Amino acid sequence: MKLHELAPRVKKQAKKRLGQGRASGQGTYAGRGGDGQNSRSGGGVRPGFEGGQSSLIQRMPKLKGFKNPNRVEAQTVNLADLAENFKDGDKVNFEALVDKSLVQKRNDKVKVLGGGEISIKLELTGLATSASAKAAIEKAGGSVA
Q: Which residues pair with 53 in a beta bridge?
A: none
Mean of per-residue pLDDT scores for the chain: 91
Is the pLDDT score of 145 beyond 90?
no
28-66 residue pLDDT tens: 999 999 899 999 999 999 998 999 999 998 999 888 888
Give pLDDT tens digits for 101-133: 999 988 889 999 999 989 899 999 999 999 999
Evaluate whether 123 touches 92 at the Cβ level (below 8 Å): yes
Half-sphere exposure of residue 99: CA atoms within 13 angstroms, side-chain side: 9
CATH topology of domain 75-144: Ribosomal Protein L15; Chain: K; domain 2 (3.100.10)
| Ramachandran angles phi, psi of 81, nearest 5° | -65, -40
Neighbour count for residue 62 (Cβ, 10 Å): 6
Q: What is the pLDDT of residue 63?
A: 87
CA distances from 41 to 36, 44, 48, 100 (A): 11, 9, 20, 68
Span 4-22, pLDDT tens digits: 999 989 988 988 899 999 9
> Does the predicted TM-score (pTM) go above 0.85?
no
